[in-house]
Structure 1
């Protein structure tokens, strides 16, 4: 009888809260969010278009950049529908299956982006430390394999999470303090034993994103060591300048990722408004800033964008 009642009263939907207490100005906040999304989608689409249409940019560095832009585009499009539906239509309900699908997309693409950033660090490492072997090491088939493995790793690592979440029984308190679904918060809505999710989520984060960051830092140590051994000051600046854009993108991505992870795991008294703000920084800022950083700091990209605009 108890099992029947549990099933009967288990909520069939989650409610996305949006920005609590700010409902009266949601329409104005939506303008800012809409502009951010338009800029992000347009910026990453322009990067993809320029790299695809310009044969001079069919080099390893720019191919990895196109992978980053495609991943950012996927993250933006996976969160856009629920955010704008809350602002414009006050539609806050999301079914369990839709929520699980959304968190799978967001997290798998996030882990894929971490892998792509590692590939880009490897590209800069080879270009700086082994310039004469650059084209022989980073061949197009090898780059395609690296990109495919990055995507597969994100999918395989995150795939068990929605399956585990689907097995749980959920409580009546089913309001999520976000515009979209994230695994840590959905997991906390369950009335079942969630230790498997906690342990697996922590393991995946440390063994993938944590390992990626460690390898990226190691690659930059080797790059810095090589650059400092160059006699000419001008050559040092030129070598470091090719890494600045990538380093800025790394800071944007990993800072927002780890801050949000630490808050959910170790800060139990965080307000819903603070979690909402951090969740939006996590999903909006890297896709928005990455094309801007590369457009400003990479001369070849900047020149071709200006050429397209002039035409």
Structure 2
């Protein structure tokens, strides 16, 4: 199971679950012309092999903490792994990645406001032993956000409660297993299934949450992940965004503050493929002045439960 590679039928099932993670196996079977038992067996195999996980994800637009920022961290006189572990302990650090080269650590942070960002930078990350320098960029707008392809590693974090206690409890159950029945959630929480159904439907309709299949990028054919900071001529930003969002390998595109005004995260099937993406898709961005690319070597923490609903996965 550990080395399971999805085939065409697996991807057909994943596409069904991306649209609706709670779609019944019988409905999927009818759509694909296969048996319900086959669908159930395939879903179980994909989950056991950590290829796919069906889970609830929160839309950050509905949270108190909705200010996204990216923080690059330079290290001195201490192992980057130890520094990253310390940073990962902070609630505001949504993802913490070890990078090849310098800066050694990349953090995606989610805070409530500018004061929260200042506190995270000055009072927390800057105080970690071994941190020599920080550089932070605030996300001005997310234009593309592929929330169905992530790092499904032991570092996966499901975050903290955000609002209504019952909603939070329901979401937590759906993060552990997005296909759990309303009846089972009700049994665990000692609440009626009809109440669970009403709550889940309300949160889905208001786009507070999305429930769907989330795949590990390494298990579906991508071996390398990287982040890029692009400095683009402000007069050509719109053309640059159109260019970047057209490429399926690029999972996230955000306008950010600072000299580099665009942030990109992408995945590649190999180092050769990565070089092609950089040369043919990033360095050809209209108006690009400078491109800085860093490879992810390890994900120390990842908040796969937080998404920006700005794009329907394709």
- After TM superposition, the score normalised by the length of structure 2 is 0.24
For the pair shown, the structure with the greater C-alpha radius of gyration is: 1
- After TM superposition, the score normalised by the length of structure 1 is 0.24
Q: Which has the higher strand share?
A: 2
